[in-house]
Amino acid sequence: MTETKIYVGLNDSETLKQKHETEKYINVLKHVCFHYHVPFSFSVEQGGYMHENGQYTQEQTLVLTLIDVRKEIIEEIAKDLCVFFHQESVMITEGSVRAYFIKETL
């Protein structure tokens, strides 16, 4: 199985500040995932990175995790989030994972 993560910073690409409450961004993220009918999970993390001009920024980041979603759908979701969150770019990582389910009845 393939696990893909999309990292979306919450600071605006022009002002370098977070414009809205984190909950508003979470609601947009959920709406996008519902629109594409993909199973998902997400987390809110703190992160930092270096801009191309050398400026260092710290910000909150939403990390969207998708398992076995087609690459073209992942890229569409990433593009939507990039536009909706007014980002210069979003980062996508992918790797192979072994996933399994355990069931037990009482």
> What CATH number is attached to the domain comprising 21?
3.30.70.120
The answer to whether residue 104 is domain-embedded is: no
93 pLDDT higher than 90: yes
The answer to whether residue 101 is domain-embedded is: no
**Percent of the chain clearing pLDDT 90 (strictly above):** 82
The answer to whether residue 60 is domain-embedded is: yes
What average pLDDT does the structure give for the chain?
94
The answer to whether residue 105 is domain-embedded is: no
The answer to whether residue 39 is domain-embedded is: yes
Range of the domain at 85: 2-96
| pLDDT (tens digit per residue) in 8-39 | 999 998 898 999 999 999 999 999 999 999 99
What total number of domains does the chain contain?
1
55 pLDDT higher than 90: no
What is the rounded distance in angstroms from the CA atom of residue 83 to the CA atom of residue 68?
24
The answer to whether residue 102 is domain-embedded is: no
The answer to whether residue 103 is domain-embedded is: no
Q: Please report the pLDDT score of residue 53 as a whole number.
A: 81
pLDDT band at 106; cut points 50, 70, 90:
confident
8 A C-beta contact, residue 29 and residue 42: yes
Residues 6+ apart with CB under 8 A from 57: 9, 11, 16, 48, 49, 50, 51
The answer to whether residue 30 is domain-embedded is: yes
